[in-house]
Amino acid sequence: MLVFILCITALFSAHIVIALAEVIILKSGGRVKGQIIERTDKHIKLDFEGMTLTYFMEDIANIENDDFEIKAKVSQETEGVKSGLPGNIALNAEADITEAQRYSRLANEWLSKGEYEKAISDFTRAIEISPHYAGAYHGRGLAYKAKGEYKKAILDLTQAIEINQNDSSIKYSEYVDIYIERGIAFMAEGEFGQALADLNKAIEINPNNAWAYRIRGIVFSNQKKYIQAIEDLNKAAEIDPADMEVYKSRGSVYVSKGDYDQAISDFNKAIEIDPNNAEMYYSRGLVYKEKGNYDQALIDLSEALKINRESAEVYRARGLVYEQTGNLGQALLDFDNAIKIDPNNTLAYAYRGIIYAKKGDYQRAMEDCNKALEMDPNNPELYFKRAGVYYYKKEYEKSWQDANRAKELGGESPFIQEIESLLGKDK
């Protein structure tokens, strides 16, 4: 069965924007902070952590501008000031507000450009100026999270939460996103219990937060609790039916369950929302491949490559489909392209080795399989591929040795029984 790994990396590699922004207040009670990138008399499109969300005017109760709120409160009071940056701030002097915010805004610019070290440096300077600046801890936590330094992210996000909790003027609802961010970091560390605690808290604070339900659904899926995962993702889709990420996540859960038709339905919806999303065509193409619908798989994988021609994974996947359909020449070209883009793609080498073996070029076949194993000597699938090359060469004893080594490493394949039967080792 095809298994999708819900990619944690995707949760952390999104384009992060935490600049001064508008807050969309929905009639349902939800609050969404982001940058408005399109506004008409009928709808608003909001950039929310790299995702484009669409809200219809009829569903919007109000739009607040965080920058205006900062200026208004700074002129009235000198502590407990709400920041337009991540989280909220509790400062003791107007000079501190100006200087700390200046560094935070600079940090935020670096963060939006993916310059995480520079962002961390400026957020740290803001914290040095004002040690109780929750927004700076929040921002630095996001930078650490984007770098994959999840333990440091958890520490900073925890500090942001504690500062906010100690300020009675700040409501839980104003920093619910920090719980979600910390939940993501806990999930990345494999601490699913802690992640669920944070996401449960976020949902308790705001039962209409689609993001919290979506991330909790992903946590449940990683725990193989697919029923709970689907329930949460259904809820997320109900709250925010325009969020493509919900359908992507739910489609991946359906794939893990082996429910390919439901997965395709969700990927269809995701593509309908974002027709230029190469990842969705790739995901749907893999499902069609698993169903044996190779024509549709080729259509989707080719469409993904039209959108993004620099994806080694898509070339590799399409190469496998071409191999399945007997088009060895095109398969070879696709594996060549995958290796050209990613010279460390061990599976592309191994798959190309099989194509060479099928074409009778055993020397190149062995070179590719050996190179793959040099880079990743503990990968059972690579031993299976080289076993296949030995099999084509009729070197059955060596084929069995590689297959047996793959088995020792935890690999499973009917090929083991086939080669053992051929050599009489099954008796």
Tell me the per-residue pLDDT of 302-356, one tens digit each, with 9 for 90 and over: 999 999 999 999 999 999 999 999 999 999 999 999 999 999 999 999 999 999 9
**DSSP reduced 3-state for 418:** helix
- Under DSSP, is residue 18 helix (H, G, I), strand (E, B) or coil? coil
Judged by DSSP in three states, 65 sits in strand
For 94-103, which contacts have Cβ atoms below 8 Å and span 24 or more sequence positions? 96/129, 96/130, 97/130, 99/126, 99/129, 99/130, 100/126, 100/127, 100/129, 100/130, 100/133, 100/136, 101/70, 101/126, 103/129, 103/136
**Average pLDDT of 298-305?**
98
- pLDDT on residue 416: 81
Could you give the CA distance from residue 350 to residue 367 in angstroms, rounded to a whole number?
9
Secondary structure element (H or E) that encloses residue 48, with its range: strand 43-48
Q: What are phi and psi of 261, to 5 degrees?
A: -65, -40
- Helix ranges restricted to H, 37-133: 66-74, 94-112, 116-129
Mean pLDDT of all residues in the chain?
A: 83
pLDDT at res. 49:
39
pLDDT digits (tens, 9 = 90+) for 203-248: 999 999 999 999 999 999 999 999 999 999 999 999 999 999 999 9
Distance CA 363, CA 372 (A): 14
Q: Which of 173, 81, 84 is nearest to 130 (CA)?
A: 81
Question: What is the rounded distance in angstroms from the CA atom of residue 349 to the CA atom of residue 208?
Answer: 47
- Residue 170 confidence (pLDDT): 76
Span of 83-87, 134-138, 363-367, 421-425 with lowest mean pLDDT: 83-87
Give the residue carrying structure tokens 């088009």: 327
Q: What is the mean pLDDT of residues 56-67?
A: 57
pTM (two decimals): 0.74
The values of phi and psi at residue 276, to 5°, are: -110, 25
- Taking the mean position of all CA atoms in its chain, how far away is CA 149? 15
Name the CA radius of gyration of the chain, rounded: 26
pLDDT in tens, 146-174: 999 999 999 999 999 999 888 877 777 77
- The rounded percent of the chain whose pLDDT value lies above 70 is 77
How far is residue 362's CA from residue 44's CA, in Å, rounded to a whole number? 59
Q: How far is Cα 34 from Cα 51, in angstroms, rounded to an integer?
A: 10
Distance of alpha carbon 115 from alpha carbon 146, whole angstroms: 10
Is 103 within 8 Å of 126 (Cβ atoms)?
A: yes
**Which domains are seen in the chain, by residue range?**
10-208 (1.25.40.10)
Please tell me the predicted confidence (pLDDT) of residue 79: 28
The pLDDT, as a whole number, for residue 38 is 59
Convert the pLDDT of each residue in 88-113 to its tens digit. Answer: 333 343 444 578 888 999 999 999 99
Q: Would you tell me the crossing angle of helices 244-257 and 278-291 to the nearest 10 degrees?
A: 20
Task: Report the C-alpha gap between 272 and 369 in whole angstroms.
Answer: 40
Output the DSSP codes for 368-397: HHHHHHHH-TT-HHHHHHHHHHHHHTT-HH
List the alpha helices (DSSP H) in 241-327: 244-257, 260-273, 278-291, 294-307, 312-324
- How much is the pLDDT for 171? 75
Q: Tell me, what's the pLDDT at 65?
A: 43
Q: What's the confidence (pLDDT) of residue 62?
A: 64
Whether pLDDT at 293 is above 70: yes
The set of residues, in sequence order, having a beta carbon less than 8 Å from that of 389 and lying 6+ positions away, is 353, 354, 357, 362, 365, 366, 369
- Judged by average pLDDT, the poorest of 67-76, 266-275, 415-424 is 67-76
